[in-house]
Structure 1
Amino acid sequence: MMMKMTMMICQQYPQPSLLHIPAGGGGSPVLRCRPQKDKVVVVMGATGTGKSRLSIDLATRHPESEIINSDKMQVYEGLDIVTNKISDEECAGVPHHLLGIVDPEADFTAGNFVTTASLTMKSIVGRGKLPIIAGGSNSFIEALIDDQNYEFRSRYDVCFLWVDVAMPVLHRFVSDRVDRMVAAGIVEEVRKMYKPNADYSKGIRRAIGVPEFDSYFRAEYSSSSDKQTREKLLQQAINETKINTCKLACRQLEKIHRLRNDKGWKIHRLDATAFFQNRGKEADESWEDMVAGPSSLIVNQFLPNFGQSRNFITATTDIDRRSIKRSPVMVAAG
């Protein structure tokens, strides 16, 4: 079975029915109870820009939050260094979903993501919590939000946050990050799952940092290759990993611009360039001033009265709403 996690589906509750007050002599108002859409926050950005950090910052400032991973490689089990999976310590106690749940040999598609993420969101909102979707796979996010049946838009209001970094600065960071991944053991990690003639077009082997090392591992298995050749191939694999990661960042940025400009998504841009240019305390201050702080304000405006009743009442005339007794909305416990 491809999935290793049992998804919890929230209990479904009937929508509030229309409340009619007969129109008599004085033109009494007609009240209608209608469901308010549930809220979802989406954190977008190119690889390495700090999406995970921002999602956790928001979740700790809004404790009624849980994070759904939308990175198409991080859904797979294994290769934690290659895929830059967030560690348990970095999660800071915030519940994470769709992280390392899929068999590495399976092919997890955008359709699979839509189905699984939809069930996960229903479970989260059913427990009265806020889903925060975070990841760089914009094709997954687009498939979820602009689905053919308009199910997402009819059920959820969404707040888009885009963590952006100037490309020259991000490219330098990505290059340095690959060097840190090498120091952390990426070569050994990929070697453990290396197979001659493996299919790099499916499963976790599509991840940048896996096919790039194929020639190097072939040389290791070959008795005719010398040490100098292997060292050259190793350096070539590392450089290709850096180049391909930078290319990925450019493609991700292009997709965000398309969603914003062509499809009209209202995406709030947050410039994190100063954070990557600074070090130590100044970097933390830049992150707070330019990214975390403004994001929190945007989300606060997006979530007025979050956690209170999800139903609201509108009237055709001005009435004393205090005379209407409202029942709390019951949600599924989990």
Structure 2
Amino acid sequence: MTDKLPLMAIVGPTAVGKTKLSLAVAQALGCEIISGDSMQVYRGMDIGTAKATPEERAIVPHHLIDIVSPDEPFSAADFQTSARELIAAIHGRGNLPLIVGGTGFYIESLCYDFRFSEAGADEAFRDEQQRFLREFGEQALHDRLRAVDPQAADRLHPNDSRRVVRALEIAHLTGVTATEHLASQTKEPRYDLCLVGLTMDRYLLYKRIEARVDAMMAEGLLDETKRLLDQGYDSCLVPMQGLGYKEMSGFLSGGLSLEEAVSLLKRNTRRYAKRQLSWFRHMDDIHWFDVTDPAEESNILQTIIHLAAGKFARHAEYT
């Protein structure tokens, strides 16, 4: 027996099929799902974040979806705090918490006893970086980070200016880079973990990504972005810089044609999927499943169910 609470996670790149599989696993094992996606917390951002539909959420309870407005800050530390409270509550109800998502930093910080930097804030430094950003652009700011912390620059997309500024600020305040802080963390699991990773043939994954973008456009991603802008959510807000919304804002502002915006979104999403896979590949405890062949779907599902059932048999409430 272990005194650590059980926690299951299904991770992998965007468009690999996490939502469909997670619903089947959750029904079989009595799970409640916690979204492990940094964008799904924002209300009104539904199509571009590929949230589970209301019908899917009616099948299995979902958490950490639609909890803040796009102009409210929500950090990895906020996710960690909220998710830990939910895990305890779900366990208290006799259910198994299941994290589903692709935001590697969020999920890893939750699964392990990650301590966020205690470095405070330097508002003057932040203002200086924001002025630099406005004058020279995202890539120039990202280049600043690369000069200070190349590994952090590899992890963070130039679009993610808030986290780029924070990484610069940590180095400025402490003299220790964000990467060095990350490396100093212990990798001791906080929970009794069962981590499942999904992967597939890269060519097929990219085809699925392109099909998903086309589907999002058909579902109204452009209208959703316009509605958010009309509601007063500035295109510079962190969530509005997310995949889909940034590209559609580029079209709406006249900087891109619609064809260019869609092509850019497909390219950026492919690159994001590659970064997701790189992040999860360095996590040692993940059991990987190749879901390239649809004919293997049922066998993979049963294998994952047996894996989790065996893992958590030590917990009396799951026997």
User: TM class, shorter-chain normalised?
Assistant: 0.7 to 0.9
Give the one of 297, 310, 319 matched to 1:287: 297
Query: Which letter maps to 2:225?
Result: V
**Higher mean Cα deviation, 296-305 or 242-251?**
296-305
| TM-aligned CA distance change 1:62 to 1:217, over 3 Å | same
Aligned-partner SS, 2:53: coil
Aligned to 1:314: none
Aligned to 2:236: 200
- Structure 1 position 301 matched with structure 2 position 318: no
Q: CA deviation at 1:127?
A: 1.7
Query: Which letter maps to 2:214?
Result: D
Deviation by residue 1:191-210 (Cα, 9 ceiling, x = unmatched): 111269935352x2132011
- Structure 1 position 270 matched with structure 2 position 306: no
| TM-aligned CA distance change 1:201 to 1:254, over 3 Å | farther
| Counterpart contact for 2:45–2:224, Cα < 8 Å | yes
| TM-aligned CA distance change 1:297 to 1:105, over 3 Å | same
1:45-194 to structure 2, matched below 5 A, reads: 45-63=12-30, 65-148=31-114, 156-194=191-229
Aligned to 2:260: 236
Q: CA deviation at 1:272?
A: 0.6
- State the distance in 2 between where 1:121 and 1:153 align: 18
| TM-aligned CA distance change 1:46 to 1:154, over 3 Å | closer
| TM-aligned CA distance change 1:218 to 1:197, over 3 Å | farther
Query: Which letter maps to 1:292?
Result: L
Query: Which letter maps to 1:294?
Result: T
Deviation by residue 1:68-109 (Cα, 9 ceiling, x = unmatched): 001000111112111111112123521111011111112211
Deviation by residue 1:249-278 (Cα, 9 ceiling, x = unmatched): 00000001122xxxxx22111111112xxx
| TM-aligned CA distance change 1:100 to 1:197, over 3 Å | closer
- Structure 1 position 254 matched with structure 2 position 278: yes
Q: CA deviation at 1:286?
A: 2.7
- State the distance in 1 between where 2:259 and 2:17 align: 27
| TM-aligned CA distance change 1:36 to 1:194, over 3 Å | same
Query: Which letter maps to 1:200?
Result: C
TM-score (norm 1): 0.69
| TM-aligned CA distance change 1:191 to 1:304, over 3 Å | same
Which one has the bigger helix percentage? Answer: 2
- State the distance in 1 between where 2:25 and 2:186 align: 26
Query: Which letter maps to 1:243?
Result: R
| TM-aligned CA distance change 1:183 to 1:144, over 3 Å | same
Query: Which letter maps to 1:71?
Result: D
| TM-aligned CA distance change 1:88 to 1:199, over 3 Å | closer
Q: CA deviation at 1:186?
A: 0.9
Structure 2 gaps of 5+ residues are 116-184
- State the distance in 1 between where 2:26 and 2:187 align: 22
| Counterpart contact for 2:111–2:191, Cα < 8 Å | no
- State the distance in 2 between where 1:198 and 1:309 align: 47
- State the distance in 1 between where 2:8 and 2:233 align: 41
| Counterpart contact for 1:56–1:91, Cα < 8 Å | no
1:311-330 to structure 2, matched below 5 A, reads: none
| TM-aligned CA distance change 1:125 to 1:271, over 3 Å | same
| Counterpart contact for 1:161–1:270, Cα < 8 Å | yes
**Higher mean Cα deviation, 207-216 or 152-161?**
152-161
CA RMSD of aligned residues (A): 2.5
Deviation by residue 1:1-56 (Cα, 9 ceiling, x = unmatched): xxxxxxxxxxxxxxxxxxxxxxxxxxxxxxxxx86322110111000111112211
Query: Which letter maps to 1:91?
Result: R
Deviation by residue 1:220-244 (Cα, 9 ceiling, x = unmatched): xxxxxxxxxx9x7011101111111
TM-score (norm 2): 0.72
- Structure 1 position 209 matched with structure 2 position 244: yes
Query: Which letter maps to 2:287?
Result: H
| Counterpart contact for 1:128–1:307, Cα < 8 Å | no
Deviation by residue 1:92-133 (Cα, 9 ceiling, x = unmatched): 521111011111112211101001001111111122211001
| TM-aligned CA distance change 1:39 to 1:126, over 3 Å | same
